[in-house]
């Protein structure tokens, strides 16, 4: 079976790295616009909860801020309470990622 999802959206919250029982993760939301329908000027969007572990979580919390655009590849999983979340496997820069670049030692 195949479980892959790719999204580009804007962060709806400031990502922060959390450590729980020795595991590092970053939980954040993204807002993704739906495709526009023919002859329609309005667009709708959906919000998704994402979680990134270890190095991906560190990178997102160090380089991205609320409102910036992020592109990611991951898997969809059940998060309980009849909700889902995206587990981030890959992060791609798509206009965002300018926060703390000097501190992270990364040149964009």
Q: Which tens digits make up the pLDDT trace of 55-68?
A: 999 999 999 999 99
In which domain, by residue range, is 63 found? 1-6+15-28+55-103
Q: What is the pLDDT of residues 10-20, one digit of tens each?
A: 999 999 899 99
HSE-CB at 10 with a 13 A cutoff on CA atoms is 7
- 97 pLDDT band (50/70/90 cuts)? low
The reported pTM is 0.79
Kindly state whether residue 24 falls inside one of the protein's structural domains: yes
Kindly state whether residue 43 falls inside one of the protein's structural domains: no
A 10 A CB-CB count for 23 gives 10
Place of tokens 């790719």: 6
Whether residue 69 contacts residue 31, with contact meaning beta carbons closer than 8 Å, is answered with no
- 95 pLDDT band (50/70/90 cuts)? low
Kindly state whether residue 39 falls inside one of the protein's structural domains: no
Beta partners for 11? Answer: 30
Kindly state whether residue 89 falls inside one of the protein's structural domains: yes
Kindly state whether residue 49 falls inside one of the protein's structural domains: no
Q: Please, which residues have CB within 8 angstroms of residue 40's CB and are 6 or more apart in sequence?
A: none
Kindly state whether residue 63 falls inside one of the protein's structural domains: yes
The total number of structural domains that make up the chain: 1
Question: For the chain, what's the residue count?
Answer: 108
Kindly state whether residue 73 falls inside one of the protein's structural domains: yes
Torsion of CA 83, 88, 89, 94, to 10 degrees: 140
Kindly state whether residue 37 falls inside one of the protein's structural domains: no
Provide the H-helix boundaries in the chain. Answer: 54-63, 101-104
């Amino acid at each position: 079976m195949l479980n892959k999802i790719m999204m580009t959206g804007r962060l709806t919250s400031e990502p922060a790295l959390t450590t729980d029982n020795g595991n590092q993760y970053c939980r954040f939301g993204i807002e993704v616009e739906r495709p526009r329908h023919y002859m329609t000027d309005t667009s709708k969007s959906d919000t998704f909860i994402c979680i990134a572990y270890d190095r991906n979580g560190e990178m997102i919390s160090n380089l991205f801020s609320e409102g910036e655009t992020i592109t990611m590849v991951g898997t969809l999983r059940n998060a309980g309470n009849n909700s889902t979340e995206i587990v981030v496997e890959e992060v791609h820069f798509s206009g965002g990622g300018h926060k703390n670049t000097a501190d992270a030692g990364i040149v964009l």
